[in-house]
Amino acid sequence: MPADDIEQARAETLRLAALLAECEVQLAAANSARESHEHALVTARGALDAAGGALADRDAELRDARNAIAGLQAENRRLDGALAAQDRIIAYRQGIRWWLQLPWLRARLWWQRLRDQ
């Protein structure tokens, strides 16, 4: 009987050793996969950080472009106002009233130039 107990203990030990070896293989595979995932995560984080920096640069460029557009629109409004004023002056000077006032205006400017000399 003790030989049977020893044989059973030996068989159980061999079974447990095989189980342990199988667990070690699975653990090594899991660790390898984990390391691969960690490496992929570090790479992805680096790419994400680079994309975030590029996005921040694009946001700054977009903000600058919008500011430039706003400045150009303001300049366009100013020039439209100046053009409208010129159109009013041209329309006034095409009228008969301007042509009747023009000789008196020229005479007055001529008189001022003579007085200033």
Q: What is the mean pLDDT of the chain?
A: 91
| Per-residue burial over 77-102, b = 16 or more CB atoms within 10 Å of its CB, e = otherwise | eeeeeeeeeeeeeeeeeeeeeeeeee
Q: Looking at residues 75-94, what average pLDDT do you find?
A: 94
Q: Is the dihedral of CA 29, 30, 33, 34 positive or negative?
A: negative
pLDDT in tens, 27-67: 999 999 999 999 999 898 988 888 888 899 999 999 999 99
Of the pLDDT bands very low, low, confident and very high (cuts 50, 70, 90), residue 5 is confident
Residue 1 scores a pLDDT above 60: no
**Cα separation of 101 and 103, whole Å?**
6
**This prediction's pTM:** 0.51
